[in-house]
Structure 1
């Protein structure tokens, strides 16, 4: 696994609590399986290996043997692999015990590992592995980060690879884990450091006759840096979209076909569909994928005035979902499009959407039941938006393309890497600082100190992505979302 380039961050390791304790955990998912893994990480694991395996192990070589209980009996038979530091996942000594995947067996094995650590070593009389404890969520990966085996973006990519909901997201997370995203950030950082060096030299030696900045084409370097950043930001937004997706809410009057549309998009009968208005009383949600992009589609209760208390609650929840949407599909019924009462109700919903929604949230006009309209009448009254039939599927591809356009997806760009919203925000701050720097650079010597400060802030924002400048609080949030044992 590639190591993080750039300066190490020992201050992070010192400030995080109990980072030097040896840790152990079951590393496979809960439940029954053919194989289960118990993982141990720490310094000098030889005494515990001897207690568990009854022998020493050759480095990085799988050895079939009995996992021994305290009395010498076998808890199970399986494979033991010892990865000596620093060439291991965590950068510490790591022991992996691959046993049969029953939950009871794995719990017995984990309990034995913890007990072996507390037992006195016959040679020294001291505990074989003092302070051995169960790992916290994400603690193995946290140690890999703290020991410079991976950077923070790669650590997040591990969790994203595990959580990937689409094949495209999994492939992109694998690219980030391999260091493609980090390499682009490091290239930006290196160019930024070089530019900072020129500016700092000019500040330190103002009496020199040589105009360092003009001779080194600082304007050109900064412009090239900004152009590169634009490309990285575009790819990062695509990566964040692959990971996060967008929330799409289907809204409209009762019996417009909202539930049918959800079922058609999902390709499954998820929502109950009947001719009775008000059938949907609460939201029905489903995550679908279009070209690998996850879309979280929510069907809501029909919007209308109602005296039914249960339906009123459903309508209130519908509005709550609409207000939190990234995009709204305002569904209309083509068979009732010219009815005065229906048009008035639609106008009321449109007014409420305009009032409640931010202007940045797109509302797509969708006209359903195209199959129920006579062919000679379909174009009689042109309507803006997407025409479709949730029943036959006609027009669904147009709607899918529209949703991808709203999301900002660019036809599966080759080599896209997974990213997170925090990465997007960090790059936006870099962009802002570089724009400020460009303004100061245009002011020449009068603003060189401000130029230097903006470049420093831009580098710090880049460092947040890879973890070179990151608060302990952020690390705690990131790694607490991992599985125990990872």
Structure 2
């Protein structure tokens, strides 16, 4: 579908299923005189009159024979003062799926009779039109979907902050600083008799350092925001009967997994979603890892290793009451490189508390008695770099992180082009001729473009299509 399609579109804007209220939304058209005449044909046919923009009109929604389909509220928003920037009509009716389908069908029939190409909206099309009409930038548009799908209060607050423009404001500030830096370089190139004095007098490297520091801080916040949005996948691994299922039940606060004294009770993955300090976690209990001749158990163990490969964090559960050091060493040696591992020593209620302090990657608990679980929760978040303070929280996506990292790499390369890689201009630095200054300016430009792609200033149409197709219909 063309991204600049101006045909009016219609969809049910409320979630599928029964509810007290359901909303049918129509968007399309912009009149030069500021009126909403572009939707007048529809409003008069289904409502019987044209309500004043931004005034709620209560009355009947009429069928082709002039009989009420339902009674509800009609709200007309004239362009550009609407969610999409176009004329928008919202029909608030009772929330029955059949009734809402009848209203949509009636609107399509009215449009067909009037010769207007009204069609059903694609997923995310209302928000996409808001982006194309400069009502939202791309980061804010993505925050709409993140707010809808937020699984925790912290994630919802972060998405609301991004929708409010906090993330975008930080990006715009960095882009503005890079623009000023580029102007300094261009001025130096335009007045070669000044050589490097102009850049030095303007403290260009100092400005670059401040941009780098601000970008590092924003990248840290964005990583936290990505955790709020996507959550963590935490896998419980270890030998049979180490207490993995008991730990899952203790963290979940419910009997999610079956616990018995029989080794190998867990044959397949058991997953439970919960939250720690607002961070959503998927805790995955796995089959005990050991050599086995049991075909069914062997399949479960293969799935356990597959889950470990995809983990954001592995909790390697040890049983303090048994001497399974050799078996655990074999398991630990097979853990994939790059995946953080936290050793969890279980059953301190039976074996007693350790006499020596635990290592940085170890925590001692009793899953059955609930001992040490608060420390474990804190260590889980610390192991993946979640900051304690969550002020200025935003939500972020993987593409945002990639763009921020790319911008950071370009800034590092820009610095290397004028300092020789040691960060100090003039110390082992290459001659600052036009070629080096051109390279410096080019890296600044690439960093600027990477940042601007987050808000949509430099974004390909195919990426836009991919982003908005993931939205729900009606939003």
Q: Of 352, 355, 372, which residue of structure 1 is paired with 2:334?
A: 352
Displacement, 1:210?
A: 9.2
**In the alignment, structure 1 residue 63 sits paired with structure 2 residue 88:** no
State the TM-score, normalizing by the size of structure 2: 0.92
Displacement, 1:266?
A: 1.2
SS at match of 2:331: helix
The whole-number CA distance in structure 1 between the counterparts of 2:4 and 2:56 is 30
Report what 1:458 is aligned to: 447
The whole-number CA distance in structure 1 between the counterparts of 2:188 and 2:229 is 43
Report what 2:368 is aligned to: 391
The whole-number CA distance in structure 2 between the counterparts of 1:216 and 1:383 is 52
Displacement, 1:17?
A: 4.4
**In the alignment, structure 1 residue 379 sits paired with structure 2 residue 379:** no
CA offset digits 1:185-229 (Å, max 9, x no partner): 000011111111221232234356894323322222212211221
State the TM-score, normalizing by the size of structure 1: 0.90
Contact kept, 8 Å, 2:47 with 2:61, in 1: the verdict is yes
CA offset digits 1:379-418 (Å, max 9, x no partner): 3687642110111110111111111101211113212111
**In the alignment, structure 1 residue 108 sits paired with structure 2 residue 97:** no
Q: How does 1:19-418 map to 2 (within 5 A)?
A: 19-43=5-29, 44-120=38-114, 127=115, 130-207=116-193, 211-336=197-322, 338=323, 342-353=324-335, 357-358=336-337, 360-373=338-351, 375=352, 378-379=353-354, 384=359, 385-418=362-395
Displacement, 1:113?
A: 1.2
Contact kept, 8 Å, 1:388 with 1:394, in 2: the verdict is yes
The whole-number CA distance in structure 1 between the counterparts of 2:46 and 2:440 is 60
Runs ≥4 in structure 1, deviation > 4 angstroms? Answer: 207-211, 380-384
70-79 or 207-216, which deviates more:
207-216
Displacement, 1:476?
A: 1.4
**In the alignment, structure 1 residue 485 sits paired with structure 2 residue 474:** yes
Displacement, 1:93?
A: 0.4
Displacement, 1:437?
A: 1.0
| Residues 383/463 of structure 1: CA separation in 2 closer, same or farther (3 Å cut) | closer
Contact kept, 8 Å, 1:251 with 1:330, in 2: the verdict is yes
CA RMSD of aligned residues (A): 1.7
SS at match of 1:389: coil
Contact kept, 8 Å, 2:4 with 2:132, in 1: the verdict is no
The whole-number CA distance in structure 2 between the counterparts of 1:439 and 1:197 is 19
| Residues 76/476 of structure 1: CA separation in 2 closer, same or farther (3 Å cut) | same
Contact kept, 8 Å, 2:342 with 2:383, in 1: the verdict is no
SS at match of 1:45: helix
Contact kept, 8 Å, 2:340 with 2:384, in 1: the verdict is no
The whole-number CA distance in structure 1 between the counterparts of 2:153 and 2:68 is 41
CA offset digits 1:228-251 (Å, max 9, x no partner): 212211211221121122211000
Displacement, 1:346?
A: 2.1
SS at match of 1:36: strand
The whole-number CA distance in structure 1 between the counterparts of 2:202 and 2:110 is 63
The whole-number CA distance in structure 2 between the counterparts of 1:428 and 1:405 is 22
| Residues 409/209 of structure 1: CA separation in 2 closer, same or farther (3 Å cut) | closer
Contact kept, 8 Å, 1:241 with 1:407, in 2: the verdict is no
CA offset digits 1:1-53 (Å, max 9, x no partner): xxxxxxxxxxxxxx934621211000011110000000000011111111111
415-424 or 310-319, which deviates more:
415-424
The whole-number CA distance in structure 2 between the counterparts of 1:441 and 1:383 is 47
Unaligned runs of 5+ in 2: 30-37, 420-429
Contact kept, 8 Å, 1:160 with 1:243, in 2: the verdict is yes
CA offset digits 1:459-480 (Å, max 9, x no partner): 1101110000011121111111
Displacement, 1:431?
A: 0.8
Unaligned runs of 5+ in 1: 1-14, 121-126
The whole-number CA distance in structure 2 between the counterparts of 1:201 and 1:71 is 72
Report what 1:7 is aligned to: none
The whole-number CA distance in structure 1 between the counterparts of 2:355 and 2:81 is 72
The whole-number CA distance in structure 2 between the counterparts of 1:287 and 1:245 is 9
